[in-house]
Amino acid sequence: MINRLHALALAAALMALQPASAHAQKTLLVAEPTHGVGYLPLYVAIRNGYFSKLGLDVKVMTVDGGSTHTNAVLTGQAFAFIGGPEHNAYAKLKGGELRAVVNVVDRGNVYLTARTGSELKPGQKLPEYVKGKSFAVGLYGGTPNSITRYLLKQWGLDARNDVTLIEMTTSAVLAAVKSGRAQIGVTSEPLLTQGIKQGLWGEPIVNIPKQLGPYAYSTLNVRLDTIKKEPELVEKFVRGVVQGIKFTYADPEGAAAIAKKEFPTMAIDDLKATLDRTFADGLWSRDGSISTEAWNTGESVVLAAGILKKPVPYGDIIDMQFVRAVNAASN
């Protein structure tokens, strides 16, 4: 009897030391509008097992653009979506309640380039230079387009009368500049480096990560109802994401190895260029926090673009209680 009790106690102890089994794990679906390197800290958290150690089985589903990822969360088809908190603001104005609970991309991942042969002249100011030019830019409603409209407004230029915005898919920007249809390309990596290598343009004439600073570009967002009913679940999810962020900065080579697995068909040179610029410009958040400044900038952009119809307060769409708790526990 004593030996049997010892055996049972040992078995119980071993079970307590092991991570939760697959059967005990809670599956959470995260909707993403595209599968991109910008979301690498989230993929790191999944592949490094940070979520599974917390009893979570996090899966990522890539959905069509627009508001599809937002609707997936609003309708309960997904636990969270990754995207700018402006989507929470859009939902708020229509009666939906979503909250950004952790930050991933804290800078605007957008760069403006000048076509070779159409560069700025020495001493020329940007407003003077861009007036009358054609821009190859992403489709209306997308953040690169909104940032472009925001910049034009800051420069005192009208998007309809002072410049020509040729709106297209992001992948077509390089071809539009190459053909001469546009003198300015609004782009990001890896297309940015591809254009430099092809001699289409030089280094950016406007570096949005540096110019605009903190910008709530891509956050992870959940329903307010989920926060109220399952706060412990949300905190575990946030903990896993923050661990992924911190690993990405602490071990760039390890993060790059995961990126290669996540994007096996991406050319190594393109992947390296993307990661190098991401680290150089500090695109990712370092601890998951969303500052008031980061939302103020993001809000200003979509208001200037006419997509957000009126201001929405920080506290109505962003909840940092879990990030604060996670970071306090790790200090």
Contact predicate 114/184, CB 8 Å: yes
Q: How many beta carbons lie within 10 A of that of residue 259, not counting itself?
A: 23
Nearest to 65, CA basis, from 46, 81, 48:
81
Six token digits for residue 1: 């009897």
Six token digits for residue 30: 């995260």
Torsion sign, CA atoms 12, 14, 20, 23: negative
Contact predicate 183/133, CB 8 Å: yes
* pTM, to two decimals: 0.88
Q: How many beta carbons lie within 10 A of that of residue 308, not counting itself?
A: 20
Helix 40-47 with 231-250: angle, nearest 10 deg: 100
What does the pLDDT average to over 74-94? 96
Q: What is the pLDDT of residues 155-201, one digit of tens each?
A: 999 999 999 999 999 889 999 999 999 999 999 999 999 999 999 99
Q: What is the pLDDT of residues 48-73, one digit of tens each?
A: 999 999 999 999 999 976 788 999 99
Quote the CA–CA distance of 234 and 226 in Å, as a whole number.
Answer: 8
The answer on pLDDT for 26 being more than 50 is yes
Neighbouring residues of 331: CB distance < 8 A, sequence distance ≥ 6: none
Domains detected in the chain: 2-108+214-330 (3.40.190.10), 111-211 (3.40.190.10)
Contact predicate 208/107, CB 8 Å: yes
The answer on pLDDT for 119 being more than 50 is yes
The answer on pLDDT for 15 being more than 70 is no
C-alpha distance from residue 262 to each of 23, 36, 259 (Å):
25, 9, 5
Quote the CA–CA distance of 91 and 39 in Å, as a whole number.
Answer: 23
Contact predicate 129/122, CB 8 Å: no
Six token digits for residue 306: 């006419």
Neighbouring residues of 144: CB distance < 8 A, sequence distance ≥ 6: 110, 137, 138, 170, 186, 187, 188
The answer on pLDDT for 134 being more than 50 is yes
pLDDT for res 21: 47
Quote the CA–CA distance of 199 and 178 in Å, as a whole number.
Answer: 9
Q: How far apart are the first and last CA of the chain?
A: 46
In the three-class reduction of DSSP (H, G, I as helix; E, B as strand; rest coil), residue 83 is classed as strand
33-54: b (≥16 Cβ within 10 Å) or e: beebbbbbbbbbbbbbebbbeb
C-alpha distance from residue 42 to each of 26, 47, 261, 297 (Å):
17, 9, 14, 23
The answer on pLDDT for 3 being more than 50 is no
To which H or E segment does residue 112 belong?
Answer: strand 111-114
C-alpha distance from residue 261 to each of 47, 89, 107, 219, 255 (Å):
10, 34, 25, 23, 10
What does the pLDDT average to over 18-36? 79
pLDDT for res 64: 76
Q: What is the pLDDT of residues 244-289, one digit of tens each?
A: 999 999 999 999 999 999 999 999 999 999 999 999 999 999 999 9
The amino acid occupying position 95 is G
pLDDT for res 23: 55
Quote the CA–CA distance of 320 and 214 in Å, as a whole number.
Answer: 16
pLDDT for res 331: 76
Q: How many beta carbons lie within 10 A of that of residue 280, not counting itself?
A: 11
Q: Quick one: DSSP state of residue 111?
A: E
